[in-house]
Structure formats: C-alpha cells, structure tokens
C-alpha cells in the first residue's frame, strides 16, 4: 500500500511541474552555481578531506599514509602540550565569555538611555570592533608595556604596582582577557537591537504596578533578552575557543619556529594547531586537532541549549526556539 | 538566449578550472628587452678661456638588446626595502645583463608568511625556482619531498662547499645529500660598554672570557640593588641569547641525531641551569622584570641606553650600534666560555623547490649569488654575514669595529642539529630554563621533564610514521 502511495507521490511531483518550472529551476541553479562550486570546492571539500587526513600522517607534498586513530590517541593520552593548550584556551574562555556578556550588556543598557550624544558614544564603543586583529594586537602591545603602557599608568594612579603583563607566565593570559573586552562593541550592538524590541507596554504595565527600575530590568527586560543572551553566549564561546590572531602576533619570534609566550602561557588551541600544521608539516595531526575542537564546541553548544531551556523565554512559546 | 549564455559560461568556468590544473612544467621562454642604467662616456666640447676637450660621465638610459631565447628563473627574496633591497636589485640586474641563458625574475615574498606561501606553491606544483629559507629545517623539507638535492650540480661543477662556514656546511646536508647552499648565517657575540668598564676600574680592552669573570665583572658594573636597580651588568636572557650560546661553551652535545637521544640531563647542562639560577637569585626575578619592563627598541634598547653593560647579540648589532648609537664606546668579545669558546648561529640557505620549472637556471643563479664578488658586494651594502669564509674576511669588512672577533666567533659557532623525529627539540629545553628561572621547578626536575617531553615527541612521531 505504502509503495503505491510513494509511487503516486513521485508521479505527482513530475506531473506537478511543467517545462517552465524546470527551466526556472535550471536558471536558478545556474545563477547559484558560482557560489555552489565555491562552497563545494573551498569549504565542504576541505572539511571532508580534513576528516580523512585526521586518520593519516600527511605532509602535504607527500601522499598521506593511513595510521588509523593514532593521531587521536597521541593527542588525548601522549601530548602534554595539547593538554596545556586546551587548559589555556578553557581558562581564557571561562573568563572571557561571562565578562564580555556582562560588559556588552551593561554598555548596551547605558547606550539605550536617552542621553545627549548617544550616537557618538555608541560609535565610540563600537569602533574597536572595526580594527583588524593584528592592528589591535600591536596597539595592545603598547598599552600593556609594563613601563610605558597606559594600563600600568592608570593602575599606578590607584596604587597598584607595575604588572609585567606579557613578560610573565602568570599575567599573559589575563592580558589577553583584558584586551578581548575592548572589542565587545559587536555584541553590544546585538543587545541594543534586542533592547529596542522589548515591548514598551510591558515596561509600562510593570511601572504602573509599582515595579522599580531594577525589578523592571530583572522581570521584564532580562527575560525578553534571554534568547539574545543565549545567542551571544554561544557565539562568544565559539569565538573564544578559536582565539588565535593576538596570541600569534604576540608570540612570534623570528627563527624560533613560533613561540607561545613565557612558559607556553599563550599556547592557545588554534595557535598550537597552526604550529603543528605549518611549523612541523603535521597536517594529519592538525586535522585531528581541528575535529576534536569541533566536537568540543558542538558539545558545549548542545549543553548550552539544554541549560537554556531553564532560562530562555520565547514570546512565541516553546516552539519558537532554535 | 540568456539561459544559454549562463550555461556556456558555467561550462567554460569548469573547463578552465580543470585545464588550469594540468599544465606541465616547462621553462617559460622570454623574449624581451629591458631598460637598464649604464654609464657611458661622452665627449663634450667645453668652451673656456682655453679651449680643451674633457671627458665627462653621464648617466643615460639605454635600451639593451637582451640575448634572445632566455629562460626565466623565479627567485623569492625577502628584501622589501632599504639598502639590502637596493643592493639586491643591482645584483640581479647585473646577472640579467650578462647571463646569456637565464633571466632572473625577483619576487618579493614577505618574511612572516614565506614558508606558508612556499608550501602552498610547492603543493600546487607552481613553486619558484630558487628560495631562501631557514637552513636548519632543510632536512624537514627534504623529508617531505619539497626540495631537490643539489649533489648532481655540485659534482658536475666541482662546486667547492668547503668555502662556507662549517656549521652551514653541516646544516644543509641531510641523509648524505646536500639540499641547499648557505646564505646569510649569523653568530652571537658579547657586546660590552667600554665607558662603563673604565668607570668601575675594569680594563676596557679586557672583556670577560670566562663565566667566572663574567659574573665578577657584571656585579662590579651593577648600580643599585633590589627594586632600585639602576644598571645591570649582565643577564643571560636579555639580548639575543636564549640558552644555546652559553650552553655550547660547555662543549656539551645537546642531542645525538642517531637514536635520537637528548642529553639535557648531562652534568654540563645541569651546571648551566644552576648558573642561570644563580643570576636570578642574585638580582631577584621581580626586580629584573621590573627593570626590563623599560626595555624597548631604538632609544630604549637596553645596551644602547646604558641600562645594561654587557649583552649577547647577533653580529648585525654592530651595524645597529654604528647607526643608532654613534657616540657609544663599545667593544665586542667572544661569548664568555665555560670551557671552550663557542656560539650559536642560524641562518638562511638557497634551495631549489621540487617542481621548479628551471632548476638549471636556479643553480646558475645560486652559484652567482654565492660567488665571492657578489657575496662581498651584497654583504657590504646590506650588513648580512657572507656565507663564505673568504668573503667574510674581505678587506671591506675588516675595517668594521669588532669584525675580527665576529670572524673568530663564526669559526666556533654551532647551530641546532636537525632531528627529524623532534624538529623543535630546543623548545622543551628553553621551557626548562624558564621554569628554573621562574622558580617553579628545580633544575634537575625541569631538565628531566624536558628530556621526557622530547622523548615523547619522538615516540609520537614513530607511532605516526611506522
């Protein structure tokens, strides 16, 4: 019976579409072809290949040789630097995600007030996000200079002694975290947009019922923002696990084959992946690292979705979720 | 009509992609004329009180017919601008004017991304013909089939490898074959401030030669102590030193490529680590960090600004001192030795990538670049160290202050041996010294951990390639 239904269904698809429909479809695909080819050749292809390479020893200029799970086995059990890079990255992420969410949300709330010169302030806070990663890193190299940097100069005013920042294994990561907070403008914009969407009638209703500003924020604004918060937590987590540029710029020493800061304190996951891939030509190993990172990020994201059920409020009801 | 056009376009697009990937490597034949600057003598009649004929030199642009049917040699260089670029352009233009068979096309490739670009181009089958890259990693590229052995060329031309500095000769050999020609090596020497020496009663013409003297002199040169350091005599980490220059003066063989084995727990290495520890204990880590936080480049260079009296730097620092600190009274000495004079060096070599379209022309150009006159000419203008011993001793350089010491140092310089199973073996060693310095591990523990880390790398490599 079901066979007949399937057959009928198939027939009806062919019946349903006349020659014109097929022509339109063809033109549509032809138009999309450049993108489609680009995607298949330059994105999907490498992704699939990297999965294959992760089971091989591959130096690019020699055919890969199949070594099964060896790369994964070494990474998980026999590579202290892998653990170190994972620790450094998790440490960074652990601080950056909450700090940048709180900072950008606070900024967005401030920038949502009706204050004079609001557009100017919004522009100023957004500007750092426009600066390219390398320029950013170079600039912060100066800001963080222990003797001449503005950061230590400011700290001195409140009586905090000079911090060696990038010269010390203990302070290098906090320096990175501090710097990342400078570029929260992008997240701030997302929050600003979300704040505009918080219905005024709910605010007014709460106000009439006698809720003060803090209560209105806690019981009205925040729940309405929760889908946006979930979104930014996920994107910031992913971004923080892929941190590379600043560490790369700060640690490159010509002729040393790529450093990683004092006592490997800036050896972040992707930096280590890069060193293995391009410094030592171990592409199979690096591919395995990339896939482990993918699984890690995927797991983290799924956990965040699971947790989010408890706090995210969708106006359309539970089906409105992603 | 339009749909047909789209269809045709997409077919052409795909076809061109496929065709583009299948070109066979053939040297590109060039027929062209180039415009060069040439000095010509011109007779000019000059009218003065007495009429006489004088010869004046005038620079004119003249079109020279380039010999027909020459093949192109593509060379990636790293000279973006400045005197090295000017000298290099001149050298290439000389070659192109005189060579009957080849014409060199220099392509500037930025230093930081050089190796990645090269890797991509070798993989794509479109590499340049000559590259200039890290000499100590020639073995890695050889192992990955990325470069060509040069032995056939060397034998056919009876090319003399013995003219190059010893460590360069060793670095370019891997598994019995020669993979590059040394170009631009370096060495590390001790720079000391003669005025500071005189000021504290030390003989400005007798720099320290041993570790004990270095220790003794350094502390005579110190000014202030604790958090109030005003001048530091010496710190083994500052400048361009790391750990190898001083370690090598103990005569230790850090690695044995056969095996490979790592001798980081050798008593000499342990003694060096303890000696490093002695320095940091003497000054105090926080005090040194605080003091070093004012270091920078240019006017804030610790040695030029007189904040540090003795520092280990590469020989090119001589030119920096002559340019940026003309009034400073300084001297150059061999690295103070534990037992034997030694230093650490690295450098570039010229290699021919696998897949080069014109390897014969590449070899011709390599021979030209490393010939005596050209080497002297380039080094004189750029400040680069010649790869040849004879060129480095050319009278043109001997007038440079401290150059005699640099030549002595070059003769005892050692590089980092290449270990296929663990190319970055020095990484764990440096980390160990940093751990000792920071006081997070004892020297014994840190060095034992470094050996374990290197051995794990070897085991991992073997597991990946068995």
Among residues B421, B460, B242, the alpha carbon closest in space to that of A81 is found at B460
Chain A CB contacts of B292 under 8 Å are: 167
Euclidean distance between CA atoms B168 and B345, whole angstroms = 9
pLDDT on residue A96: 96
Euclidean distance between CA atoms B458 and B463, whole angstroms = 9
Does residue A148 carry a pLDDT above 70?
yes
Does residue B24 carry a pLDDT above 50?
no
Judging by DSSP bridges, how do beta strands A65-66 and A56-57 pair with one another? antiparallel
pLDDT digits (tens, 9 = 90+) for A269-315: 999 999 999 888 899 999 999 999 999 999 999 999 999 988 888 87
Whether residue B424 lies within 8 A of chain A, CB to CB, comes out as yes
Which residue in B has a C-alpha nearest to residue A61's C-alpha? B123
Does residue B338 carry a pLDDT above 90?
yes
pLDDT, averaged across chain A: 89
pLDDT digits (tens, 9 = 90+) for B369-423: 999 999 999 999 888 999 999 999 999 999 899 999 999 999 999 999 999 999 9
How buried is A276 (Cβ within 10 angstroms: 0-12 exposed, 13-18 middle, 19+ buried)?
A: buried
Determine how many CB atoms are found less than 10 A away from the CB of residue A142.
Answer: 12
Considering chain A, what percentage of its residues have pLDDT values greater than 90?
63
Q: What is the dihedral of CA A21, A24, A28, A31, to 10 degrees?
A: 160
Cβ distance of A168 and B289 shorter than 8 Å: yes
Cβ density class B171-186: b for 16+ within 10 Å, e for less: bbbbeebbbbbbbbbb
Euclidean distance between CA atoms B310 and B207, whole angstroms = 9
Pair of tokens at residue B324 = 């940026």
pLDDT digits (tens, 9 = 90+) for B283-300: 999 899 888 877 877 777
Q: What is the dihedral of CA A244, A101, A322, A86, to 10 degrees?
A: 40
Q: Which of A 265-304 lie inside 8 A of B, CB atoms?
A: 278-282, 284-285
pLDDT band at B73 (very low <50, low <70, confident <90, very high): very high
Question: With contact defined as beta carbons under 8 Å apart, do B359 and B129 qualify?
Answer: yes
Question: With contact defined as beta carbons under 8 Å apart, do A264 and B432 qualify?
Answer: no
Residues B212-228 have a mean pLDDT of 94
CA angle B361/B367/B372 to nearest 5° reads 150
pLDDT on residue A12: 60
Pair of tokens at residue B353 = 């990538």
How buried is B420 (Cβ within 10 angstroms: 0-12 exposed, 13-18 middle, 19+ buried)?
A: middle
Cβ distance of A37 and B116 shorter than 8 Å: no
Whether residue A64 lies within 8 A of chain B, CB to CB, comes out as no
How buried is B270 (Cβ within 10 angstroms: 0-12 exposed, 13-18 middle, 19+ buried)?
A: middle
Chain B CB contacts of A78 under 8 Å are: 456, 459-460
Question: With contact defined as beta carbons under 8 Å apart, do B405 and B332 qualify?
Answer: yes
The answer, yes or no, to whether ipTM is higher than 0.90 is no
- The partner residue sitting opposite B431, judged by closest CB among A59, A162, A264, is A264
pLDDT digits (tens, 9 = 90+) for B35-57: 555 555 555 555 445 555 556 65
Give B298-348 as a 3 state SS string: HHHCCCCCCCECEEEEECCHHHHHHHHCCCCCEEEECCCECCCCCEECCEE
Does residue B132 carry a pLDDT above 80?
yes
pLDDT on residue A138: 87
Chain B CB contacts of A143 under 8 Å are: none
CA A199, distance to chain mean position in Å, is: 29
Q: Which residue is listed with tokens 């043109």?
A: B396
pLDDT digits (tens, 9 = 90+) for A243-264: 998 888 888 754 444 578 888 8
Considering chain A, what percentage of its residues have pLDDT values greater than 70?
91
Question: With contact defined as beta carbons under 8 Å apart, do B395 and B389 qualify?
Answer: no
The DSSP secondary-structure symbol of B399 reads T
Alpha-carbon dihedral sign for residues A271, A272, A276, A280: positive
Chain B CB contacts of A57 under 8 Å are: 464-465
The DSSP secondary-structure symbol of B162 reads G
How far from each other are the two terminal CA atoms of chain B, in whole angstroms? 60
Better pLDDT: B48 or B79: B79
Residue B410: CB partners within 8 Å, gap ≥ 6? Answer: B165, B185, B187, B315, B343, B345, B385, B389, B392
Question: With contact defined as beta carbons under 8 Å apart, do B343 and B248 qualify?
Answer: yes
Quote the minimal CA–CA distance from B452 to chain A in Å: 10
Question: With contact defined as beta carbons under 8 Å apart, do B446 and B377 qualify?
Answer: no
Does residue A1 carry a pLDDT above 70?
no
Pair of tokens at residue B245 = 């220059």
Q: How many A-B residue pairs are in contact by the CB < 8 A criterion?
A: 103
Euclidean distance between CA atoms A70 and A55, whole angstroms = 7
Q: Mark residue A60 as left, alpha or beta (left: phi above 0; alpha: psi -120 to 50; beta: remaining).
A: left
Euclidean distance between CA atoms B338 and B210, whole angstroms = 6
Pair of tokens at residue A304 = 């965040």
pLDDT on residue B336: 97
Among residues A148, A150, A146, the alpha carbon closest in space to that of A164 is found at A146
Judging by DSSP bridges, how do beta strands B261-262 and B347-351 pair with one another? unpaired
CA distances from B413 to A307, B248, B375 (A): 61, 9, 20
| Radius of gyration over every alpha carbon of chain A, rounded to an integer in angstroms | 26
CA B321, distance to chain mean position in Å, is: 19
């Amino acid at each position: 019976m079901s066979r007949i239904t399937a057959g009928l269904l198939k027939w009806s698809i062919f019946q349903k579409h006349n020659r014109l429909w097929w022509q339109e479809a063809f033109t549509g695909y032809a138009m999309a072809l450049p993108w489609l080819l680009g995607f298949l050749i330059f994105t999907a292809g490498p992704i699939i290949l990297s999965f294959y390479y992760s089971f091989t020893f591959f130096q690019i200029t020699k055919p890969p040789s199949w070594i099964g799970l060896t790369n994964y086995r070494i990474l998980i059990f026999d590579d202290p630097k892998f653990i170190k890079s994972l620790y450094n990255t998790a440490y960074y992420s652990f601080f950056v995600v909450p700090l940048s969410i709180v900072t950008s949300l606070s900024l967005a709330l401030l920038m949502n007030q009706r204050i004079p010169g609001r557009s100017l302030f919004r522009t100023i806070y957004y500007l750092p996000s426009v600066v390219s990663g390398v320029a950013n890193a170079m600039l912060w190299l100066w800001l963080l200079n222990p003797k001449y940097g503005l950061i230590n100069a400011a700290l001195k005013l409140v009586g905090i002694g000079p911090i060696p920042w990038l010269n010390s294994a203990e302070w290098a990561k906090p320096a990175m975290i501090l710097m990342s907070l400078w570029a929260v403008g992008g997240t701030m914009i997302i929050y600003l947009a979300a704040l505009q969407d918080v219905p005024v009638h709910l605010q007014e209703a709460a106000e009439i019922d006698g809720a003060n500003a803090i209560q209105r924020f806690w019981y009205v604004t925040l729940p309405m923002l929760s889908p946006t918060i979930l979104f930014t937590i996920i994107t910031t987590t992913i971004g923080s696990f892929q941190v590379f540029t600043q560490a790369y710029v700060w640690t490159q020493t010509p002729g040393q084959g790529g450093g990683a800061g004092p006592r490997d304190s800036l050896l972040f996951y992707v930096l280590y992946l890069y060193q293995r891939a391009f410094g030592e030509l171990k592409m199979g190993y690096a591919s395995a690292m990339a896939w482990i990172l993918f699984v890690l990020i995927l797991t983290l994201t799924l956990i965040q979705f699971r947790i989010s059920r408890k706090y995210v409020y969708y106006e359309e009801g539970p089906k409105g979720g992603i | 009509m339009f749909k047909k056009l789209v269809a045709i376009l997409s077919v052409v697009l795909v076809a061109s992609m496929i065709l583009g990937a299948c070109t066979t490597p053939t040297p590109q034949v060039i027929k062209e004329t180039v415009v060069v600057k040439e000095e010509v003598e011109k007779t000019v009649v000059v009218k003065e009180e007495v009429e006489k004929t004088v010869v004046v030199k005038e620079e004119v642009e003249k079109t020279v017919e380039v010999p027909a049917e020459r093949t192109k040699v593509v060379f990636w260089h790293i000279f973006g601008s400045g005197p090295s670029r000017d000298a290099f352009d001149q050298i290439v233009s000389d070659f192109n004017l005189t060579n009957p068979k080849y014409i060199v096309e220099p392509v500037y490739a930025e230093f930081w991304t050089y190796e990645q670009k090269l890797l991509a181009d070798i993989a794509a089958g479109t590499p340049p013909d000559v590259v200039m890259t890290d000499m100590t990693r020639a073995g890695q590229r050889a192992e990955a089939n990325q470069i060509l052995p040069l032995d056939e060329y060397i034998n056919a031309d009876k090319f003399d490898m013995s003219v190059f500095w010893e460590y360069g000769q060793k670095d370019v050999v891997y598994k019995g074959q020669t993979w590059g020609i040394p170009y631009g090596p370096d060495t590390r020497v001790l720079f000391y401030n003669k005025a500071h020496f005189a000021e504290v009663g030390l003989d400005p013409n007798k720099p320290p030669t041993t570790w004990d003297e270095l220790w003794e002199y350094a502390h005579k040169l110190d000014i202030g102590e604790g958090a109030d350091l005003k001048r530091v005599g010496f710190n083994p980490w500052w400048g361009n030193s790391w750990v190898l220059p001083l370690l090598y003066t103990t005569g230790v063989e850090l690695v044995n490529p056969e095996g490979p084995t790592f001798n980081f727990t050798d008593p000499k290495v342990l003694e060096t680590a303890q000696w490093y520890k002695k320095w940091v204990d003497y000054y105090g880590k926080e005090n040194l960090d605080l003091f070093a936080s004012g270091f920078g480049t240019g006017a804030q260079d610790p040695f030029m600004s007189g904040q540090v009296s003795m520092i280990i730097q590469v020989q090119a620092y001589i030119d920096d001192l002559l340019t940026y600190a003309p009034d400073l009274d300084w001297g150059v000495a061999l690295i103070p030795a534990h037992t034997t004079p030694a230093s650490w060096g690295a450098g570039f070599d010229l290699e021919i990538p696998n897949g080069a379209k014109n390897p014969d022309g590449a070899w011709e150009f390599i021979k030209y670049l490393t010939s005596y006159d050209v080497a002297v000419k380039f080094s004189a203008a750029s400040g680069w160290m010649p790869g040849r011993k004879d060129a480095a001793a050319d009278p043109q350089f001997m007038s440079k202050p401290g150059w005699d010491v640099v030549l002595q140092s070059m003769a005892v310089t050692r590089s980092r041996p290449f270990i296929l199973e663990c190319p970055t073996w020095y990484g764990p060693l440096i980390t160990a010294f940093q751990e000792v310095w920071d006081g997070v591990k004892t020297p014994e523990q840190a060095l034992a951990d470094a050996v374990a880390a290197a051995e794990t790398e070897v085991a991992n490599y073997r597991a990946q390639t068995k």
